[in-house]
Amino acid sequence: MPNTKQALASYLLLAAAVAGGLLWYERETLPQLGQTHVGGQITLGGDYRLTDQDGRSRSSTDFLGKYQLIYFGYTLCPDVCPTTLAIIAAAMDKLGPTQNRIVPIFVSIDPERDKPAALKTYLAWFGPRFVGLTGTPEQIARIEGEFRVYARKQSLQGGGYSIDHSSVIYLIGPDGKLVSVYDDAASPADLAKDIRRRLAG
């Protein structure tokens, strides 16, 4: 999994995308390690249809009317994924009853291994609110492209592989449009504070 240098490289890739015209910001700001949110409008995200941890077909339109907290990772991730999901779960707890307006979503970037049953077992550690999504490699590649997710397999000694990937939490609004992004260094308290402010706005 990415160390600090690899995580920083992911953000530099995001900055390069801005410079290349792939992203547009209302204000010229980029996420930095430890920063909780980014202002401005970003052309990220889009419609998707995937399969949840119960084997049901789910689409982006299923979540219209609610906020979505979306994170991309994989169940065999040894560090940043479980840490970030725990941060999201703790932030949701801090939001109290307003958490009912938010759907936390974990999208697998490892469709070969992350079948619905694997997602269901994994997400049980983080609470019943999480929706896990997986799909075919083609479906996952499409949503990765829509959200500008960096993901690359790395072969391991003795066989198998890990996946280096960007680590960004996306907040999608009730209208299906991106509201903000947070990096994996955001604390539960800061994440909850910013989301609460946006829900009240």
Domains of the chain: which residue ranges? 4-200
Paired sense of beta strands 102-108 and 131-134, if any: parallel
Q: What does the pLDDT read at residue 43?
A: 65
Q: What does the pLDDT read at residue 9?
A: 43
CA atoms within 13 A on the CB side of 182: 25
Q: Are 189 and 174 in contact (CB under 8 A)?
A: no
Tokens representing 16?
Answer: 């390069």
Q: Please give the model's pTM, rounded to 2 decimal places.
A: 0.81
Cα dihedral 147, 150, 153, 154 in deg (nearest 10):
-160
- Residues forming a β-bridge with 169: 71, 182
Q: What does the pLDDT read at residue 198?
A: 92
- Which three-class secondary structure state does DSSP give residue 36? coil
User: CATH says 4-200 is which class?
Assistant: alpha beta
pLDDT digits (tens, 9 = 90+) for 52-83: 999 999 999 999 999 999 999 999 999 999 99
What type of residue sits at position 66?
K
Tokens representing 70?
Answer: 């979306």
Q: What does the pLDDT read at residue 138?
A: 97
- Which three-class secondary structure state does DSSP give residue 76? coil
Is residue 160 exposed (0-12), middle (13-18) or buried (19+ Cβ within 10 Å)?
exposed
The pLDDT averaged over each successive group of 10 residues in the chain (201 residues) is 41 36 32 42 78 97 96 96 96 95 98 98 96 98 95 92 95 93 90 93 75
Q: What does the pLDDT read at residue 11?
A: 39
Paired sense of beta strands 67-73 and 168-172, if any: antiparallel
